[in-house]
Amino acid sequence: MNPDKLTLNLLNFAHKEKTLLFYLTGQEKEGAVKLAANDLRFIQDRLSLFREAESLYTTFRTPCEGSIPVSGHTSPTGHIDQLTWSYSILKKYYTHRIAGYFRAIGLPVIEDFVSDVQVWVPCKSPYPDFTGYRTYSLRVQFARITLLPELLVSSGGITSASNHPVSSPLMSEVSPEYYNKIIFRQHIYYYEQRPEEVRRNQREVFPCLNEGLRKALGIPVPTPVSGNKYRRYWNEIEDFKKKYLSSEAFAEIMQLNTNLWIDAPSQRLRQTANDKMPLSFGNNQTHHSPLYGLQKYGPQKLPETTRTSFFYIFHDSDSPLAFTLNDCMNGTRFPKFNLPGLIQIAYATEPKLSIAFKDKGNPLPEIEKALDNRFFKPDTSYMAIYLSPYKKYGEQEEHQIIYHRLKEMLLRRGIESQVIDVKSLWGDKRAVETSTSRNRTGNEVTVQKAVIPDAFYFSLNNIAPAMLAKLGGTPWGLRNNQLNELVIGVGAFRSMDDGKNYLGSAFCFSNEGRLYGFDCFRSEQTRELAGSILAYVKQFCQERKTLSKLTIHFYKKLSNRELAPIEKGLANLGLKIPVYVVSFNKTFSDDILGFDRLKSHLMPCSGTYLSLGDSRYLLYNNALIDESTFKSQEGYPFPMKISIQCFPAKTSDKTTTEDEDTIIARKKEVEHELLNQVCHFSRIYWKSIKKQSMPVTIKYPEMLAQIVPHFARPDIPRTGKETLWFL
């Protein structure tokens, strides 16, 4: 099924001139642009000039000492025997001209590593005493989406530059290691690459804010902007186009064909069936909604243990909140909600098991001592509900450490945990009410209970499936007939503390969403990663007897070095199966975007995807299934950029006799199925009943890898590799 047309943030343009005269030199000159090695070979193959040159530079249309003028066509049509400038050289030329145009009108400009022009337009900064700049990127490309030259216009976030130079007293106690980009006289430089003139004029050098500098200055994070990102993004690029790209001066550089954004070619658009497949619940029943499916049929799989006990860990000032949460769990506070009714786990607490600590700043020693003095039954699963005085990712690093170390402390004792931020429950005022009840021995007791907002009812619907998954159950799965396929997710996270990459892997799922287990590795442990993947393949084959396909969801393109031990291991297991690698851009696409102009919010329907060529796709994965039922609070996530690699099974069979068109059609259908699978795995995120915009095969590994580097010990205990304790 093909979706409605999408409008892209692309403009077609035509070359102003049929030929261009450039000045080339084999010597590095000030202001000259170095051409790529392929461009040098391109010139050497076509001209007798520069045969001995090791590098080639150009000042484009400005002559310089020792340069040689060379004329070339801008289009190869009709000029087979004459020099035609390569796309690479033309891209550098237009990038150079565009950067000059914006500098001439007084806007800061920087060219990034892929030769995009980034323009900084002044705007209001969210930080006081800083100057804000809205960043826009312009990329020249040729026949990527259409058959014509293209100008891609994208809007970035707001960059803020301090109003105080690096020589000011405010910056005197800040280490230069926190400086990255700087502004000097409307020019943007990287601090480590600043020229001598900048170094000699420190009073005119203004550092741009980054995460390290923000923390060093003690600046709090502003409240993020919410709302419809598509509408905001569209308005930004539309205003930028009208103000800067529709002028006569810009037309001297390139002639925009219509000055209108182009529509995606219809043959590049398709739609998956990602949300039409029902989810699987208890007793083999299905439903499209996670919440209603749980309420009606119960979870797909219950935990293996039949005994579960809950207890609370909290600061003594939050004891009223612990009493209220207890009422929430057993159904007293919200009659429509209780754990047994939703996830079919009996809710029970044990006397004197809960822990109230006094030191809010460093509660870990108290909690550890209390845990050592508690008796935990070996035949019972335990769930600790931690009422955290701080947000999970607070401003102060020591508060974050409490969260991570407490998780580790409980995990090593085989105790699962659910963290709830008390500030989100108390609100601005700590309201309590006094009530009288009878305890377990029948005595009448008076307790104070917190007054919490009714909206917490909706949070409980998310907390319940998360706790079930941590205890080893499966809230819901995927209804899939292809039960002999394995999907493994690998993600990455760079620790800000030690600067090392961590891999959250291998998260191993069957194609119907059953979790087989996971592990965590350092980035250099390629063989260990492959060994873990193969261990799950072997386990799967022993249980299912057959495996027809292995799909790896990777956070980047898989290299031959990383794939080689996996292929070797499959061969050693006697498996001749295809391996598909679906690679994800870790950040949502903020360069090429498609807008559905027929909808007021502009966001395309979930499952819509745009082919970018070379097995690369732009995939929309959101909650917009039916316009009549879509709610704005579901969010407006940007699409993912995905690329697909196929490594067919190595066999001794003769080469297929299928024609090329049949092979291409089959390849497209396989890739369609893989994109469909990505959307499916976005629906088994058991931390929330809301559909996610990233599959759990990528989301879970990253969540894991954000916690493990903060552990006191670098390993994960064996029992911690079988349940989703980090949700």
* Pairing label, strands 355-357, 308-315: parallel
Are the CB atoms for 555 and 586 separated by under 8 Å? yes
Nearest residue to 137 (alpha-carbon basis) of 593, 615, 621, 636: 593
pLDDT above 60: residue 87: yes
Residues contacting residue 528 through CB under 8 Å, at least 6 positions apart: 521
Structure tokens at 53: 């040159």
Lowest mean pLDDT among 275-284, 315-324, 394-403: 394-403
| 121 three-state secondary structure | strand
Angle between helices 560-572 and 526-544 (to 10 degrees): 30
Q: What φ, ψ does residue 662 adopt, rounded to 5°?
A: -65, -40
The residue type found at 233 is Y
Residue 524 has pLDDT above 60, yes or no: no
**CB neighbour class for 550 (10 Å; exposed up to 12, middle 13-18, buried from 19):** buried
Q: Can you tell me the mean pLDDT for 297-324? A: 91
Q: Roughly how many angstroms between the first and final C-alpha of the chain, as a whole number?
A: 36
- pLDDT per position as a tens digit, 346-405: 899 988 899 999 998 899 999 999 999 999 998 899 999 999 988 765 556 677 788 889
Phi, psi of 521 (to 5 degrees): -135, 160
| Count of C-beta atoms within a 10 Å radius of residue 704 | 26
Residue carrying structure tokens 């979870």: 299
Count of residues for the chain? Answer: 727
Tens digits of per-residue pLDDT, 198-216? 999 999 999 999 988 998 8
Q: Which residue type, as a one-letter code, is found at position 369?
A: K
Q: Are strands 444-450 and 432-438 parallel, antiparallel or unpaired?
A: antiparallel
How many other β-carbons are positioned within 10 Å of the β-carbon of residue 223? Answer: 7
Residue 155 φ/ψ, nearest 5 degrees: -110, 135
Say if residues 445 and 268 touch (Cβ distance below 8 Å): no
Q: Which segment of 96-100, 254-258, 503-507 scores lowest on mean pLDDT?
A: 503-507
| CB-CB contact of 715 with 528 (8 Å) | no
Strands 117-123 and 109-111: antiparallel
Tell me, letter by letter, the H, E, C secondary structure of 636-652.
Answer: CCCCEEEEEEEECCCCC
Q: How, if at all, do strands 381-388 and 308-315 pair?
A: parallel
Residue pair 293/282 in contact by the 8 Å Cβ criterion:
no
Which comes out higher in pLDDT, residue 662 or 590?
A: 662
**Residue 487 is which amino acid?**
V
How far is the C-alpha of 117 from the C-alpha of 151, rounded, in Å? 11
| Element containing residue 309 per DSSP (H, E) | strand 308-315
Residue 443 scores a pLDDT above 80? no
Token duo for residue 605:
């329907």
Residue 5 CB-density burial (10 A; 0-12 exposed, 13-18 middle, 19+ buried): middle
By DSSP bridging, strand 485-494 and strand 444-450 are unpaired
What b/e sequence results for 78-90 when a residue is b if at least 16 CB atoms lie within 10 Å of its CB, and e otherwise?
A: eeeeebbbbeebb
Residue type, 513: G
Give residue 220's pLDDT: 85
Whole-angstrom Cα distance, residue 608 to residue 637?
13
pLDDT band of residue 717 (cuts 50, 70, 90) is confident
d(CA 336, CA 340): 11
Cα separation, 337 vs 293, in Å, equals 14
Tokens 């690699």, located at residue: 645
Over range 221-244, report the average pLDDT.
Answer: 91
3-class DSSP assignment, residue 83: coil
Which residues, other chains included, contact 121 with Cβ-Cβ below 8 Å and sequence gap of 6+?
107, 133, 134, 135, 136, 240
Query: What pLDDT band is residue 644 in, cutting at 50, 70 and 90?
Result: very high
The pLDDT score that the predictor gives to residue 588 is 60
- Tokens in use for 557? 């393109």
Q: Which of 618, 668, 681, 601 is nearest to 274 (CA)?
A: 681
Round to whole Å and give the CA distance between 399 and 388: 10
- Taking a C-beta distance cutoff of 8 angstroms, is the pair 501, 477 a contact? no
**Whether residue 246 has pLDDT greater than 70:** yes
The backbone region for 45, taken as left when phi is positive above 0, alpha when psi lies in -120 to 50, beta otherwise, is alpha
The Cα 385–Cα 727 span in angstroms is: 13
Question: What confidence score (pLDDT) does residue 514 get?
Answer: 82
The amino acid present at 566, given as its one-letter code, is I
Peptide bond into 506 cis (omega under 30): yes
More confident residue, 529 or 225: 225
**Using CA atoms in the order 460, 462, 463, 469, what is the torsion angle rounded to 10 degrees?**
140
Tokens describing residue 576: 């001749």
Q: Are the CB atoms for 75 and 85 separated by under 8 Å?
A: no
Of 109, 174, 142, 103, which is closest to residue 14 (Cα–Cα)?
Answer: 142
Distance CA 158, CA 33 (A): 29
Residue 673 has pLDDT above 80, yes or no: yes
From the CA atom positions of the chain, what is the Rg in Å? 30
pLDDT of residue 568: 81
Reading phi first (left if > 0) and then psi (alpha if -120 to 50, else beta), residue 469 is in alpha
Structure tokens that stand for 540 in this block: 């799967």
Strand partners for 670: none
Contact 676, 620 (CB under 8 A): no
Q: Is the pLDDT of residue 56 over 70?
A: yes
The answer to whether 279 touches 448, Cβ cutoff 8 Å, is no
- On the question of pLDDT at 261 being above 80, the answer is yes
Q: Are 510 and 677 in contact (CB under 8 A)?
A: no
pLDDT tens digits for 582-619? 998 866 656 899 999 999 999 999 999 999 989 999 99
pLDDT of residue 224: 79
Could you tell me the pTM of the whole model? 0.88
Helices assigned H by DSSP within 7-85: 37-46
Cα 279 off chain centre by: 24
The 3-state DSSP class for residue 591 equals coil
At residue 4, the pLDDT reads: 67
- CA–CA separation, 61 and 55 (whole Å): 19
**Which tokens hold the place of 408?**
């580790």
- One-letter amino acid identity for 299? P
CB 620, CB 608: distance < 8 Å: yes
Question: What type of residue sits at position 31?
Answer: G
Task: Kindly report the backbone phi and psi dihedral angles of residue 21, in degrees, each rounded to the nearest multiple of 5, phi listed first.
Answer: -100, 115
